[in-house]
Amino acid sequence: MLSHFVDRGSSIEDLEGNRWPDPPKASTTLVRSVHELRRRAIKDLTVEDLRRLITQDVGLRWLLPTALDFLRETAPQEAAGWYDDDLLSAVLTRRESVWRSAPELARHLDGTVRMLTDLSPHMQRDVEYFRTTLSDLL
């Protein structure tokens, strides 16, 4: 498991040692949600919560390994017609610098994607961009 070092009983705030102040009252639902999710223990985050935080580049040090473990564990179910495209897209579309700073995670993601056989055209484009951008790492 990539996330063996992640204390799933802790929140992103605990792990970062950085407490964000409450968001301003006029904040969007997304901003309020991200603030709240940073305070929740990682073990209590849903797949949708992971996607939301990862898409906002919050807690990537802990959440990317957690998400990659989840995606790898569920890859065999893809053959049965189920796969979480939203989480996969969130992970695939992180900035190039994120993957260059953690090449082992990029290679793990590439290996997981190679297990998938029925990706949508949109997802195939994300995969192709990921692979092209990081071809020297993979």
- Residue 92 and residue 130 in contact, taking contact as beta carbons nearer than 8 Å: yes
Q: Please write the tens of the pLDDT for every residue from 124-135.
A: 999 999 999 999
Average pLDDT over residues 36-64: 97
Distance of CA 82 to the CA centre of its chain: 18
pLDDT at 59: 97
Residue 38: both structure tokens together:
């940073």
How far is residue 116's CA from residue 4's CA, in Å, rounded to a whole number? 24
Q: Please write the tens of the pLDDT for every residue from 101-128.
A: 999 999 999 999 999 888 888 889 999 9
Global pTM?
Answer: 0.93
How far is residue 84's CA from residue 92's CA, in Å, rounded to a whole number? 12
Q: Please write the tens of the pLDDT for every residue from 57-87.
A: 999 999 999 999 999 998 877 655 555 689 9
How far is residue 46's CA from residue 50's CA, in Å, rounded to a whole number? 6
pLDDT at 84: 61
Question: How high is the mean pLDDT of the chain?
Answer: 93
- Residue 96 and residue 133 in contact, taking contact as beta carbons nearer than 8 Å: yes
How far is residue 11's CA from residue 57's CA, in Å, rounded to a whole number? 15
Average pLDDT over residues 33-53: 97
Residue 13 confidence class, pLDDT cut points 50, 70, 90 = very high
In the chain, pLDDT over 70 holds for what percent of residues? 95
Residue 26: both structure tokens together:
């006029």
In the chain, pLDDT over 90 holds for what percent of residues? 83
Average pLDDT over residues 14-30: 95
